[in-house]
Structure 1
Amino acid sequence: MTTNNPFRPPFSAETPSQREKDLADELKGAKEEIQAKNQRELELLSQLLEAKTSLLQTSQQREQRLTTQLQKVKADLETTQQHEKTLTAQLEKWKSDFENTQTREKETATQVQLLKKTLDAARERERLANVNADKIKAELGFSKSREDNLNSEIEQLKQDLETSNGQAQTPSFKRARTDSWGPPGHTPTPSKRGGRGGAHSQFRTQ
C-alpha cells in the first residue's frame, strides 16, 4: 500500500522507478564492499591461524627435543647411581679386606683413598646430573604451558573463523520495497536539494 508523505517534494526530476534503480545500484555497491571486507577478514584470520599453527608445531618439536634430552639425562643419572652402588660395594669389600689383612695395610689404604676420590667424583657427577635434570624439567613445564596457551588461541581463532564464514554467507541487506520510496520501514525526510542528490544523502544517513 502506498502512503502519502506530507514532506514529499512537490516535484522531483527522478521518477520512482529511476530512484529505485539508483537505490538498487547503491545497495549493490554496498553489498560488494561488505563482501570484499568480509573476504579480506577471512584471509587475515586464515593467515593468523596458519602462523599460530606453525608456531605450535615449532613448540611441539622443541618440547619433543627437550623430552628426549631429559630421558637421556635420566638414563645417565641411573647409570651413575648404579656405578655409585658398585663403587660403594667395592669400598665396603676393600675395607673388610683391609681389616682382615694387616700385611697389606699400606697398599689397601692407598686403594681405599683412590676409591674414595672416585666415589666423590661420582657423587659430584650425580649432583650435577640432578641439577641439569631440574633445569630441563622446568623448561619442559614452560614449553607445555606455552603449548596449552597456543592450543587455546587456535581454538578461539577457529571459532572466530567459523563465525566470520557464517556472517559472510548471510545477506546484510533486504530488498527494498517497490511500493514506497526509501528502504523498508524508512520515512523519507525532505532534502534541501531535490533530485538525485537528495536521494543519495537520505540513503547515506541510514
Structure 2
Amino acid sequence: MKSIFSYISLTLWLLFGLYFGLAGILYADLTEEKEFIGGSNQVKKEVQLPPGVTKGIDSLGNAYYEMNGVKFTSLEKIKLRGQEEAAESVFNWYKTLPNKLILFITSMALGGLGSLISLVKKLALENARIDDLRTFWHPMLGALIGIIVLGISYLIPIIITTESEVEIRATTLIFLSMFAGMYSKEFLAFLESRFSNYLKQHGKNE
C-alpha cells in the first residue's frame, strides 16, 4: 500500500513540475526574445513575406506588416506573436497572471522537479527502495526551496546595489531553482552556514 502511495506521489510531482516548469520556461524564453526584439537595432534584410502577411507604409512613412487585420512593426514580432499564441493554447492560464506570480509558481515547480530528480537518481543508481524514500515531503521541500531561491534573487541585488527595481533574469532563476532542489540538503546547509557567519559577525559589530 505504501508503495502505491509513493508511486502516485512521484507521478503527481512529476506532472506538476513538468507542466508548470515548461510553462515557466516558455514564458521566460518569450520574455527574453521580446526584450531582444525591442532593443535590437540590427538592420533587417528584405525577406520573403510569410503567407497571409502584407507589407504597407503608414501616413508617417514607416513600414508595417499586417496579418489578420493586426499591424506589426516587424516580421520578428509577428513570429513572436505566433509563438505566444501557441504557448497560450496549452498554458492559457499564465497570460492572466502577473509576471511575479508566474515566477513564483515556476520556481516552486522546478524546485520540486529538481528534488524529484534526486529521488529517481537514488532509485536508479543507488538501488534504493521506493518505500524508504520520502516521495511527498522531499519534492515539497524542493518546491519551498524554489521560493527561497526566488526570494534571494530579489534580496541580493537590493543589498549590494542602490537600484529600487530588481529585474530578474527568468531563465537563470528557473534553472537555479531546479539545481537547488536537486541538492536541497547541501543548499540548506550552505544557507545555514552563511547566515550563521553573518549573525556572528553582526553580533560582534554591535
Per the normalisation by structure 2, the TM-score is: 0.28
- Mark the structure with the bigger radius of gyration: 1
Higher-RCO chain (CA-CA 8 Å, sequence separation at least 6): 1
Per the normalisation by structure 1, the TM-score is: 0.28
Q: Which has the higher strand share?
A: 2
